[in-house]
């Protein structure tokens, strides 16, 4: 974690990352979120204002570094449900 981004909340970091990526590249990151999470991040994006380039770059670096970790997060029912829901829709996810 960089000093510049260490004081930011996870929600603020997500908002900065999404803005930095832009709608096309950022949209896939939102697909697995539930409505409350999506709403909270959208609210954060809406109220973000101007972000210094150095801070945005620090957030992106932190994201990339966390993606390089050798240990994957553990899977669970909710994660599996979100993948199926994002790919095949609500009905299929409930049926599986």
pLDDT (tens digit per residue) in 18-50: 999 998 898 888 888 888 898 999 999 999 999
pLDDT > 60? residue 2: no
CA distance 33 to 39: 9
For 4-51, the DSSP string reads HHHTS-HHHHHHHHHHHHHHHHHHHHHTT--HHHHHHHHHHHHT----
Give the pTM.
0.68
Average pLDDT, the chain: 85
CA distance 1 to 57: 12
Token readout for 96 is 């599986």
């Amino acid at each position: 974690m960089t000093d510049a981004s260490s004081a930011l909340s996870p929600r603020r970091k997500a908002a900065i990352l999404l803005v930095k990526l832009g709608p096309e590249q950022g949209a896939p990151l939102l697909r697995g979120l539930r409505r409350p999470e999506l709403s909270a991040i959208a609210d954060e994006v809406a109220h973000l204002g101007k972000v210094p380039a150095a801070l945005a770059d620090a957030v992106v670096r932190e994201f990339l570094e966390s993606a390089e970790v050798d240990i994957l997060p553990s899977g669970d029912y909710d994660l599996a449900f979100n993948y199926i829901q994002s790919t095949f829709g609500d009905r299929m996810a409930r049926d599986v």
